[in-house]
Amino acid sequence: MSKETLLKHLRNIPDYPMAGVQFKDVTSWFMNPDDLREIADTLYERYKDKGITKVCGIESRGFVVGAILAEKLGAGFVPIRKPGKLPYEKVSIEYRKEYGFDRIEMHKDSINERDIVLVHDDLLATGGTSSAACHMVKQFNPRKVMANFIIELTNFNARERFPMDVEIDSLIAMDELDNIN
Ligand code: AMP
C-alpha cells in the first residue's frame, strides 16, 4: 500500500479540539484492518534489526501501534502516562506546553542500562510530550534511544527539542495544513 493510499484513509477534523487545529484522526486507520497491518508491518521492517528491547508508548494513541510493534519485535512494552495513572513507584518529568506546564510518568523499574529503547507516539506536532518522554527515558541510561511517529507535522520543527543523540523517524511527514483527502 502506498503512502498516498494511507493518506486518503486518514480523517482530518478541522478546528478540533480547538479553533485553528487540523486534527489528524488516526483512529480512522486503526479501525481499518489493512491500514493497521500496513502501518505495523512497515514499522516492523524498519526496526527489526535495531536490537530494540523496549517500546515505550505515549498515552493514549501511542499505546495502539506501540504495543503491536513491541510484540512483533519481541520487545517489552512500557506505558508513558499522564499523572496519577500508574500504580507503582514512578519517575516523572515536567515539560512546557503552549499554555503552562504538564507532566508524564513511567514506572521506575521499566528501563535498564542494557535496554535499546524505541519511544513511539501516533503523531509528532510541537514535540513537547515526546521530547520530554525521551529525556525521561534517557535518565535510565539505556544503550540507545530512538523515537518514532506515524505522522510528523513538519511545520512545528519539533526535532530541535529532542536530545541530540535520539534517532527520530516518521512514516509520513506532512505540513499540518496539507490537504489530505
Ligand atoms: P505534541 O504537540 O507533539 O506534544 O503533541 C502531543 C499529542 O497531541 C500527540 O501525541 C498527538 O497525539 C496529539 N496531537 C497534537 N496535534 C495534533 C494534530 N494536529 N492532530 C492529531 N493529533 C495531534
pLDDT for the residue 125: 96
Pocket of ligand 1 contains residue 21 by CB under 6 Å: yes
What's the pLDDT tens digit per position in 65-76? Answer: 999 999 999 999
Hey, which of 16, 29, 129 would you mutate to test ligand 1's pocket, going by the most ligand atoms within 8 Å of its Cβ?
A: 129
Pocket of ligand 1 contains residue 57 by CB under 6 Å: no
* SS (HEC) of the chain: CCHHHHHHCCEEEECCCCCCCEEEECHHHHCCHHHHHHHHHHHHHHHCCCCCCEEEEECCCHHHHHHHHHHHHCCEEEEEECCCCCCCCEEEEEEECCCCEEEEEEECCCCCCCCEEEEEEEEECCCHHHHHHHHHHHCCCCCEEEEEEEEEEHHHCHHHHCCCCCEEEEEEEECCCCCCC
Mean of per-residue pLDDT scores for the chain: 96
| pTM score, whole prediction | 0.97
Average pLDDT score over residue span 36-56: 98
Pocket of ligand 1 contains residue 81 by CB under 6 Å: no
Q: What distance in angstroms lies between residue 25's CA and the mean position of ligand 1's atoms? A: 10
